[in-house]
Amino acid sequence: MLLSSRRVPPVTSNEQLAPRGAAFGEPDEAVWREPHDSVALDRGALTAAPAPSWREWLYGHAFRWWIGLVFLIVDAWIVAGWIQVRGWLPLFGSLAAVVYLEFVLWQYLFHPYKPQIRGKFRATWYAPFKVGRWSPDREGGLKLEIGPVDRGPDPREFL
């Protein structure tokens, strides 16, 4: 017999999950009374801690994923090309060169500025750039490098 001999009790109208008289998905009464308070609270929270701009988000977060995906596609293309012609030695040589070039490009674009960890900057083969072009802390790193900005001409320079 496919059906179980055990019987499941039927659901009665007394076993309701929602309170009596409330439709499915109907909001609480407090939302109906004060709908503008929740909007004002949301706006206040957004202005107190604003999100990054579209440009900051695009260069700081989205392009990291897309550029990583492009690197993966290029690496797979090189591997597939050399495996097809059974060139094992050129495969490892060209893959090593391309991975290093990808690493240098990644450092150029996204290298973080951390002088407290690295100390005085010296260009090396693994850190060729002081701060990445699209790094979120680029502005702070460059401002510290430039120093304080003058607030206009010095009156002592004139007669």
pLDDT digits (tens, 9 = 90+) for 79-118: 999 999 999 999 999 999 999 999 999 988 888 777 777 6
**Most confident of the following: 17-21, 111-115, 144-148, 150-154:** 111-115
Cα–Cα distances in angstroms (integers) from residue 17 to residues 10, 21, 32, 73, 131, in the given order: 15, 12, 21, 52, 57
| Whole-angstrom distance, CA of residue 110 vs CA of residue 54 | 17
Question: Quick one: how far is CA 133 from the chain centroid?
Answer: 16
| Whole-angstrom distance, CA of residue 83 vs CA of residue 91 | 8
Model confidence band, residue 7 (pLDDT cutoffs 50, 70, 90): low
**83 Cβ partners below 8 Å, 6+ apart?**
91
Q: Is the pLDDT of residue 119 over 60?
A: yes
Instruction: Tell me what pLDDT residue 112 has.
Output: 78
Domain extents in the chain: 54-146
Stated pTM of the model: 0.56
Instruction: Tell me what pLDDT residue 36 has.
Output: 60
Helix (H) or strand (E) holding 88: helix 88-110
Instruction: Tell me what pLDDT residue 37 has.
Output: 66
Instruction: Tell me what pLDDT residue 42 has.
Output: 73
CB atoms within 10 A of CB 110: 20
- Tokens 């797979």 found at: 76
| Whole-angstrom distance, CA of residue 50 vs CA of residue 56 | 12
Q: Is the pLDDT of residue 16 over 60?
A: no
Instruction: Tell me what pLDDT residue 78 has.
Output: 95
Q: Is the pLDDT of residue 51 over 70?
A: yes
Mean local confidence (pLDDT), 29-47: 66
**35 Cβ partners below 8 Å, 6+ apart?**
none
Mean local confidence (pLDDT), 123-148: 69
**Least confident segment among 19-33, 99-113, 114-128:** 19-33
Instruction: Tell me what pLDDT residue 150 has.
Output: 56
